[in-house]
Amino acid sequence: MNLGYYHERPEERGLAHFLEHSIVRGGSEKFSAQETGYLVNTIGNFNPTTRLGNTKYPFANLTEDLDFTLDFISNMVFKPIFDESKVEYERKRILREMYDKRSNKNYTRNRKFLEKLYRRHPNSLEGDGKIEIVSSAALDSLRSLHQRAYSPTNSDLIIAGNLPSNIEAVIEKYFGSLSQGIDLRIRSYPRLEQLKKRLVGHWKEPQMLNPNNSEESSAEISLYFIVPPEDSPDFYALKMLSYSLGGMPISRLRKSLGNKGLSYRISSSYNGSANAGIFTINGFVPAREVGEAIKTIFDELKILKENPISQEEFNILNKNFRFNAAQFLESNHGHVTALENKLKDGLTPEDYLGAYSKLTTEEIKRVALAYLPDQDGIYALAISDPLKK
């Protein structure tokens, strides 16, 4: 369903998530709230989520249950009755979740850091919304949001697996007569702009202190730098860089930090969704050697900028990509994800793999030189440190 917390009006902050809960537990025209609550836990794996631009209601179950599941989903999602007692029950659950989250002593600190990193970009939004809005929202507010956003026109039904030959007729049977509505899907998000200056948060974390040997306590470091989003022609090279640095067991950071005894767990990733390109390096290092670990990371970035990766390393990375893609597509979940990507940007797994195979070592060096920061450059760095004075 193309309704996420980015779609919410200021007075609706938190209602997309609240609506998801109320739909799942509140019953429908055909299935009572009690029946709905029972079925979502018994007819297969089901874990709905509300995200920035959509709400997902994913089911995974047996082919023999597909007809019934489609009937159930159609009623639950498009014809909810919002049983008042169940809605109030879900309101209490959501509020408890929100209070628990905000009771974490690092909540305010982490929120401020993320807001400085993302600034006006939608990724700075708090996904679960505002407590005062969720606690006071009337049932009519949920009904109004549902009426505005929940329609076949504003949704995608993706099915993968061992499908019956009459699947199109089954879909038409349960979804064909629904009112069409309007399309609210987000075509593009505001671009995440580069930081104006370096952002560093270095916080004391007493709970990370090793009670048996304080000098061997671990600190956590997270390095973020802003790069182009996923629609950039440099997307594939950035993905390859993330694998080279910390995406595989033999990656560069694992070697360089591991050889110095500075880290057992270190990884890197690149995410370019929502028009926000973020390259992340995260790991645990000795608290007494945080400075040396950070220097080692930037030394490795410098090497990538000055010297292209070898053809041997490139071949290993490429084979790793192909293996991961093949393994992923062996599952129904992998095929669903591939279809989601096809709907979003028109690209198939073959398109992605073809683009990776066309990369060259010189192109990866060019992208590294363009986007990997120097230690005295612009980036965001978060350090949770039990030995900080």
The CATH number that applies at residue 269 is 3.30.830.10
In contact, 309 and 318? CB cutoff 8 Å: no
User: Quick one: tokens of 319?
Assistant: 């084979």
* 250 and 131 inside one domain: no
Which has the minimum average pLDDT: 78-82, 91-95, 338-342?
338-342
Which has the minimum average pLDDT: 38-47, 48-57, 82-91?
38-47
By residue range, what is the domain housing residue 323? 199-385
* 305 and 227 inside one domain: yes
**Domain contains 5:** no
Specify the number of domains making up the chain. Answer: 2
Interatomic CA distance for residues 248 and 45, integer angstroms: 30
**Domain contains 186:** no
Residue that is written with structure tokens 């500075």 in the block: 262
CA geometry: angle 58, 240, 253, nearest 5 deg: 105
Residue 286 has what pLDDT? 97
In contact, 81 and 29? CB cutoff 8 Å: yes
Residue 203 has what pLDDT? 97
The tally of CA atoms less than 13 A away on the side-chain side of residue 174 is 21
Q: Which of 140, 175, 210 is the last residue of a domain?
A: 175
**Domain contains 182:** no
Band of pLDDT at residue 214, cut at 50, 70 and 90: very high
Average pLDDT (116-126) is 97
- Residue 269 sits at φ, ψ, to 5 deg, of -150, 160
Residue 133 has what pLDDT? 98
Is residue 335's pLDDT more than 90? yes
How long a stretch of residues is the chain?
389
**Domain contains 156:** yes
- What is this structure's pTM? 0.92
Is residue 357's pLDDT more than 90? no
Is residue 218's pLDDT more than 90? yes
Which has the minimum average pLDDT: 132-146, 206-220, 322-336?
322-336
**Percent of the chain topping pLDDT 90:** 89
Average pLDDT (164-186) is 95
* 154 and 244 inside one domain: no
Band of pLDDT at residue 331, cut at 50, 70 and 90: very high
* 238 and 342 inside one domain: yes
Residue 196 has what pLDDT? 97
